[in-house]
Homo-oligomer: A and B are copies of this chain.
Amino acid sequence: MSKKLIGVDLGGTTIKFAILTEQGDVQQKWSLKTNILDEGQHIVPDIVESINHHIDLYQMKREQFIGIGMGTPGTVDLEKGTVEGAFNLNWKALQPVKEKIEAGTGLPFALDNDANVAALGERWKGAGNNEDEVAFITLGTGVGGGLITNGELIHGINGAGGEVGHMNVEPNGYLCTCGNHGCLEQYTSATGIVHLAQDAAEEYVGDSKLKAMIDDGQEITSKIVFDLAQKEDDFLANQVVDKVGYYLGLACANISDILNPQYVVIGGGVSAAGDFLLDRVKESFMRFAFATVRNSTKLKLAQLGNDAGVIGAASLATRFTK
């Protein structure tokens, strides 16, 4: 019987789990609410207990598993298997995650940060077609990235490789949470898109449902902006989508001039806007990318949705087969 992998996707609201074959096919999935109380000290014990419980539940044996891989927020020390600065988990101190999970489950454990793990998932079983050159950008509350070249993730010396959300796309632009001005995240994350919409509404005097909603004090989301643009052909909403496409295309061009990947895969909640957004990103990418890059690198939407994390996490555990 072939061996299995366990993938864990640790997030601020839920912890997702999956049991996969060595080939990356998901066989079982479950999830748990993340308990961030008491400085997040319940999280790791909850993960251990849930894995042990499910191995028993499915009447499986430890020997059937190659190992566990996990994606986590925060800064990861790959060698030591520790995490720090994961604020949405309420983890204030350094967490010896690998040590505790290996002790609690009896299985080898590897981890990486959540964007990198999602990139590995999309590369392995999603839009990345298992290529050795894949760039992944995730557009959610923030903007993250996982970049793969020569078949390996780019971590850089301090784990900050792939910080595409903080590439500069507008030198005197919006103030970012990182302290700089004009980071990509401020223009293409869910919150950045709302910011763009609010500023656009303030300057606009024509007829627009988006403007009316904002002026009325209604809560706007990036989804509302895309829906108004696509379904109601709202002029102002379309202006905002144009800007999002422009900035994301510019960033994709600069990333691709550096990496010349096979694919730039765009995922995360904002990418639910689909081709309606992607077409504008491509337009801007074609304008800014170097000819050789423009003719070889392709922009694609992510394919795995929420499963990218557990699948990519599980792929970290394939190293234990060797």
Query: What residues make up the interface of A, taking CB atoms closer than 8 Å to B?
Result: 75, 131, 133, 145, 147, 149-150, 152, 154-164, 166-168, 171, 178-180, 183, 250, 253-255, 257-262, 287-293, 295-297
Contacts and interface: CB of A to CB of B under 8 A. Distances in A.
A171 B258 contact: no
A164 B257 contact: yes
Contacts of A166: 257, 289-290, 293
26 contacts: A131-B157, A155-B260, A158-B260, A158-B295, A158-B296, A158-B297, A160-B257, A160-B260, A160-B293, A160-B296, A161-B258, A161-B259, A163-B257, A163-B293, A164-B258, A166-B289, A167-B254, A167-B257, A167-B258, A168-B250, A171-B250, A178-B290, A179-B291, A180-B289, A258-B258, A258-B259
A150 B157 contact: no
A292 B158 contact: yes
A258 B260 contact: no
B296 A157 contact: yes
Given A158-B292, A179-B291, A287-B180, A168 B254 contact: yes
A111 B290 CA distance: 23
Contact of A180 (B164, B180, B290, B295): B290
Given A75-B292, A180-B290, 20 more contacts: A133-B156, A149-B152, A150-B150, A154-B259, A154-B260, A156-B261, A156-B293, A158-B260, A160-B260, A160-B296, A163-B258, A166-B257, A166-B289, A167-B253, A167-B257, A168-B288, A178-B290, A180-B287, A180-B289, A258-B259
